[in-house]
Structure 1
Amino acid sequence: MKKRLLAALFSLSLPAAPALAADGAALFQTNCSACHQADGQGVPGQFPPLAGRVSKIAATPEGRQYVIAVALNGLMGPITAAGNTYASFMPPFKTLPDDQIAAILNHVAGLPSGPDATVFTAEDVAAGRKESLTPPAVIEKRKALDAQHPLP
């Protein structure tokens, strides 16, 4: 009886393999949709749209690094996105594990119509953690990237 009880308790403490995979859509809804809306379209003048833009920004290695920097370090300062100006503040999400940040970014890169893209890996996010930036420094990174590759 004790052995069966211990075996049952042990098996309950191990997550099933599918539970280990991060669900980008669910994580986006929990962490991002309050500002960027469920469809990633944002709110004009308040929160910039992500849908249709993140995949374009991430088309270059520098763009991928920038997107990861935004997710990890947040953003603070004025930006122009999709032709509109925003007085931006985005909180950092560096407390989330690397695989969850990658899943969110892949979900956003697949918006507006999905499916989730496979642009970002947990290893990419882990590498991005090595460059700790302040939210205003991320704006400077954005300006440099925009000068090199105009952002949508």
Structure 2
Amino acid sequence: MTSFKIAACFTVATLAGLAPSFAADPEPGEALFSENCAACHNEGGIGTPGLAPPLNRPGFWAGLGDQAPAYISGVTLHGLNGTITAAGEKYIGLAMPPIADLADEDLAAINSWVLGTLGETKLAVSVEDIAKAKAEKVSAADLRAMRPKSE
């Protein structure tokens, strides 16, 4: 088949809606989340009952308000342990380890994706927010105290 015939077939298939579709690459934050967070929080941040809470909870992120970037940065940098309730489920002995081996840019991309896509907020996390969270050395008790009382 000549290249003209191949191009013509592809054009007809495209016009008829039969051409293969190519998925766009996920945004960097989503890809980094899949590589670094989904093992516990699951793809799409739906959580793993008894292990890791869901992150796809817009009400939770809205309840944090302007503190959401500081909260998520504190959790990713310093970890979170203890007991929390998320989406009506109690997580006893939660042990979210700090993510210490990623670049600040990557952490900011992950956190921004969680806030924007899973949390449905217009908030983002900057590299400066990550640097500030590193310097603050916030405790798990401080992070738990930031959590909204209801979602």
Q: Same fold (TM over 0.5)?
A: yes
Tell whether 2:125 aligns with 1:108: no
Question: 52, 55, 59: which one pairs with 2:61?
Answer: 55
Residues 117/28 of structure 1: CA separation in 2 closer, same or farther (3 Å cut) = farther
2:85 is aligned to 80
In the alignment, the residues of structure 1 paired with residue 104 and residue 63 of structure 2 have an alpha-carbon distance, to the nearest angstrom, of 20
Q: After superposition, where does 1:1-152 map in structure 2 within 5 Å? A: 23-53=28-58, 55-61=61-67, 63-87=68-92, 88-112=94-118, 118-133=123-138, 137-138=139-140, 140-146=141-147, 149-150=148-149, 152=151
Percent identity, aligned pairs only, is: 35
Cα distance in 2, alignment partners of residues 24 and 127 from structure 1: 20
1:96 to partner: Cα distance: 1.2
Please provide the CA RMSD for this pair. Answer: 2.4
Runs of 4+ in 1 over 6 A off after TM superposition: none
How does the TM-score come out when normalised to structure 1? Answer: 0.70
Distance, in Å, in 2 between the alignment partners of 1:119 and 1:42 is 21
Deviation at 1:59, TM superposition (A): 1.9
Residues 64 and 30 of structure 1: is their aligned pair in 2 closer, same or farther, counting only changes over 3 Å? Answer: same
Q: How far apart are the structure 2 equivalents of 1:47 and 1:80?
A: 11
The Cα shift of 1:27 comes to 0.6
If you compute each CA radius of gyration, which structure gives the higher value, 1 or 2? 2
Cα distance in 1, alignment partners of residues 115 and 29 from structure 2: 10
Q: Which amino acid aligns with 2:149?
A: P
Runs of 5+ consecutive residues of structure 1 not aligned to the other structure: 1-21
